[in-house]
């Protein structure tokens, strides 16, 4: 295909001379790892061509989420446009889903050739950008720097905890870095004030809302196959062509009101969101930014139509907001909500009231042949924690789950057994906190200084306890998969780690400490609960029985 000669402009509109080109279809920009554990970078075409030999992506948490969603979007949209295949993945049908998994690679290669010019970072219609976007900032030192595309980097005068190397002129970044971080920025930008810019005579900017992938700090869940081809196929969700929609790069003018409305409402528009208007400058240092498409948010009080399909919903117990996404929490690792992510109704059929992530329903469609090749399937979970424009943390977690979880029913309660194991751990944490507080109380922790010390001891104990359990999650997953499991081994693990966390946190040297240690330790299990189970456990002071005469 012939490529159009492109002349780049600065944010002021001034020409910078020689055109620059970086086409994501052909240029290497996606880090991957192959079966030999070798890493390299590939373009979109090579990734789909080699998808059976490439094991996985080799990127950070937010890049992984953004790239997975881009690849899935290309695959599903390619199936819709495939003239030979006869349509996309429309029905909730196992045979159609398996057939789509076999033919999406060829369809994607044809699709990428068809839309190749729309995947150039500096093309006539630059990839996910607005070429006519012009910044209202006139001075060079006022311009936005491309450092802003990476939430971990300091940009301009704004320092971050782990990066103090920002300069007024910004850092120059390579094209592959710009491409990956552009995807992340469009999907995970947090709310806040954003610079003003113009598109022709139209002015945009001011306050921006959260991009869809950072809404409510949700955790995204993906099935992981033995290679990238399998991973993409396993995470494709059946949608009618109309509901699937059209991604931004297929629009001749995606910033028009009608196009933006369609992008906000469609699945493809949400898979690869354009929550900001962006134009990269050729120097790799400067970027024009403005508020973009506003995506409808999940409202648990109303119908769940605007929910994120790749995130699970959990009951909160809050009357004002009874439902919410399973979200990223630096103090609560994702394995503690695994039972919500694997909600058994997600395996039955996609519906607005299905609490599990919709892509996990594909587990039940995986063939017996594939299941025989491995005893378990893998899931990957990750997300971004942000609050009112402030980026707090990103995290991920992965696990291998026995296939027996897939057949979970009311009679086959592996998932509910796992949930009970988590409940036991949560109850153990409460008893640990009660024991620490009793220990401090016995030592006379009544002053403000000692109150702070008590809080510090509680935090230390909790961290020790949950860090230890983090290493033992596989044991809970395996034991819950056993028929009629009473979780005896998990209870013993809880008891052992509970005592260990208490003993390593509370000093027991002086006579006063020894007495406090002994009184606090009684609170770990109570008088009638030596196993570590929640049953009959209490955080209140145990009642003493009078000795019989």
For the stretch 198-226, what's the b/e string if a residue is b when 16 or more beta carbons lie within 10 angstroms of its beta carbon?
Answer: bbeeeebbeebbbbbbbbbbbbbbbbbbe
Sign of CA dihedral 323, 328, 332, 337: positive
What own/partner pairs with CB < 8 Å and gap ≥ 24 does 160-166 have? none
Clarify whether residues 393 and 459 are in a common domain.
no
d(C-alpha 72, C-alpha 69), whole Å: 5
Stretch 128-155: mean pLDDT, rounded? 77
Per DSSP, which regions of 252-369 are E strands? Answer: 276-280, 286-291, 313-315, 323-325
Sequence-distant (6+) residues with CB within 8 A of 145 are: 155, 156, 166, 169, 170, 171, 285, 286, 287
What domain range is 458 assigned to? 426-524
Stretch 312-334: mean pLDDT, rounded? 82
Confidence at 201, pLDDT banded by 50, 70, 90: confident
Name the strand (E) or helix (H) holding 135. strand 133-135
pLDDT of residue 62: 95
Pair 294, 280: CB distance under 8 Å: no
Asked which of 414, 437, 458 is the last residue of a domain, the reply is 414
Judge whether 352 lies within some domain.
Answer: yes
DSSP state of 506: S
Judge whether 119 lies within some domain.
Answer: no
Judge whether 506 lies within some domain.
Answer: yes
Q: Name which residue leads in pLDDT, 546 or 151.
A: 151
d(C-alpha 287, C-alpha 283), whole Å: 9
Sequence-distant (6+) residues with CB within 8 A of 351 are: none
d(C-alpha 359, C-alpha 72), whole Å: 11
Q: What is the DSSP string of 177-208?
A: HHHHHHHHHHHHPPSEEEEEEEETTEEEEEEE
Each residue of 235-251: pLDDT tens digit?
999 888 778 899 999 99
Each residue of 166-193: pLDDT tens digit?
566 677 889 999 999 999 999 999 887 7
DSSP state of 414: H
Asked which of 383, 414, 445 is the last residue of a domain, the reply is 414
Each residue of 451-504: pLDDT tens digit?
666 788 999 999 999 999 999 999 999 999 886 768 999 999 999 999 999 999
pLDDT of residue 283: 82
Clarify whether residues 517 and 436 are in a common domain.
yes
Confidence at 9, pLDDT banded by 50, 70, 90: very low
pLDDT of residue 353: 57
Q: What is the pTM of this model?
A: 0.86
> Tokens standing for 91?
């029905």
> What pairs with residue 397 in β-bridges?
381
pLDDT of residue 354: 66
Q: What is the mean pLDDT of the chain?
A: 82
- φ/ψ of 56, rounded to 5, equals -165, 175
Clarify whether residues 399 and 439 are in a common domain.
no
Is residue 516 over pLDDT 80?
yes
Helix (H, G, I), strand (E, B) or coil at 384: strand
Judge whether 231 lies within some domain.
Answer: no
Number of domains in the chain: 2
Judge whether 140 lies within some domain.
Answer: no
Clarify whether residues 400 and 436 are in a common domain.
no
Pair 180, 58: CB distance under 8 Å: no
Name the strand (E) or helix (H) holding 33. strand 30-34
Judge whether 343 lies within some domain.
Answer: yes
- Give the closest residue to 146 by CA, choosing from 292, 290, 288: 288
Confidence at 544, pLDDT banded by 50, 70, 90: very low
Each residue of 403-461: pLDDT tens digit?
888 765 555 588 889 999 999 999 999 999 999 988 988 887 544 446 666 788 999 99
DSSP state of 347: G
Clarify whether residues 409 and 445 are in a common domain.
no
Clarify whether residues 378 and 438 are in a common domain.
no
- Give the closest residue to 73 by CA, choosing from 174, 175, 156, 186: 186
- Percentage of residues of the chain with pLDDT beyond 70: 81
d(C-alpha 60, C-alpha 239), whole Å: 29
Clarify whether residues 405 and 431 are in a common domain.
no
Clarify whether residues 363 and 455 are in a common domain.
no
Asked which of 368, 393, 414 is the last residue of a domain, the reply is 414
Judge whether 254 lies within some domain.
Answer: no
Helix (H, G, I), strand (E, B) or coil at 219: strand
Clarify whether residues 409 and 434 are in a common domain.
no
Judge whether 335 lies within some domain.
Answer: yes
pLDDT of residue 431: 94
> Tokens standing for 413?
């309660």
Q: How many CB atoms lie within 10 A of CB 540?
A: 8
Domain CATH code at residue 444: 1.10.132
d(C-alpha 356, C-alpha 308), whole Å: 11
pLDDT of residue 491: 94
């Amino acid at each position: 295909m012939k490529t159009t000669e492109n002349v780049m402009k600065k944010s002021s509109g001034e020409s910078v001379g020689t055109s620059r080109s970086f086409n994501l279809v052909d240029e290497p920009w996606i880090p991957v790892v192959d079966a030999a554990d070798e890493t390299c970078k590939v373009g979109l075409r090579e990734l789909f061509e080699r998808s059976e030999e490439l094991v996985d992506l080799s990127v950070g948490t937010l890049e992984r989420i953004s790239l997975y969603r881009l690849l899935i979007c290309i695959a599903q949209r390619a199936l819709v446009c495939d003239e030979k295949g006869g349509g996309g993945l429309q029905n909730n049908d196992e045979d159609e889903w398996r057939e789509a998994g076999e033919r999406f690679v060829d369809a994607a290669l044809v699709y990428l050739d068809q839309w190749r010019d729309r995947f150039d970072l500096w093309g006539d219609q630059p990839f996910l950008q607005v070429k006519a976007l012009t910044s209202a900032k006139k001075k060079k030192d006022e311009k936005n720097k491309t450092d802003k595309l990476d939430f971990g980097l300091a940009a301009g005068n704004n320092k971050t905890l782990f990066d103090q190397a920002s300069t007024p002129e910004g850092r120059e970044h390579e094209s592959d870095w710009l491409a990956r971080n552009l995807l992340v920025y469009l999907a995970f930008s947090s709310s806040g004030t954003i610079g003003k810019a113009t598109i022709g005579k139209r002015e945009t900017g001011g306050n921006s809302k959260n991009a869809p992938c950072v809404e409510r700090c949700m955790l995204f869940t993906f099935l992981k196959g033995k290679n990238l081809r399998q991973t993409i196929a396993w995470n494709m969700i059946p949608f009618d062509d109309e509901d699937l929609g059209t991604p931004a790069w297929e629009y001749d003018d995606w910033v028009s009101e009608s196009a933006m409305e369609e992008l906000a409402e469609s699945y493809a528009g949400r898979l690869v969101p354009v929550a900001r208007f962006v134009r990269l400058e050729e120097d790799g240092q400067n970027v024009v930014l403005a508020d973009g498409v506003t995506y409808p948010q999940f409202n648990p009080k109303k119908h769940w139509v605007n929910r994120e399909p790749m995130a699970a919903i959990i009951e909160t117990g809050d009357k004002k907001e009874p439902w919410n996404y399973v979200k990223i929490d630096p103090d609560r690792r994702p394995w503690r909500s695994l039972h919500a992510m694997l909600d058994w109704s997600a395996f039955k059929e996609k519906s607005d009231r299905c609490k599990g992530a919709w892509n996990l329903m594909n587990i039940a469609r995986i063939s017996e042949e594939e299941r025989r090749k491995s005893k378990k399937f893998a899931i990957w979970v990750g997300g971004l924690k942000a609050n009112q424009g402030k980026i707090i943390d990103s995290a991920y977690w992965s696990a291998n789950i026995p296939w027996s979880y897939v057949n979970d029913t009311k009679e086959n309660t592996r998932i509910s057994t796992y949930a009970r194991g988590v409940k036991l751990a949560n109850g153990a944490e409460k008893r640990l906190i009660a024991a620490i507080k009793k220990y401090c109380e016995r030592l006379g922790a009544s002053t403000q200084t000692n109150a702070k010390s008590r809080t510090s001891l509680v935090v230390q104990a909790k961290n020790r306890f949950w860090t230890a359990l983090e290493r033992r999650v596989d044991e809970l997953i395996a034991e819950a998969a056993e028929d009629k499991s009473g979780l005896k081994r998990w209870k013993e693990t809880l008891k052992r780690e509970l005592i260990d966390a208490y003993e390593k946190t509370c000093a027991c040297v002086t006579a006063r400490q020894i007495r406090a240690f002994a009184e606090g330790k009684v609170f770990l299990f109570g008088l009638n609960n030596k196993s570590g189970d929640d049953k009959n456990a209490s955080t209140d002071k145990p009642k003493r029985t009078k000795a019989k005469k």
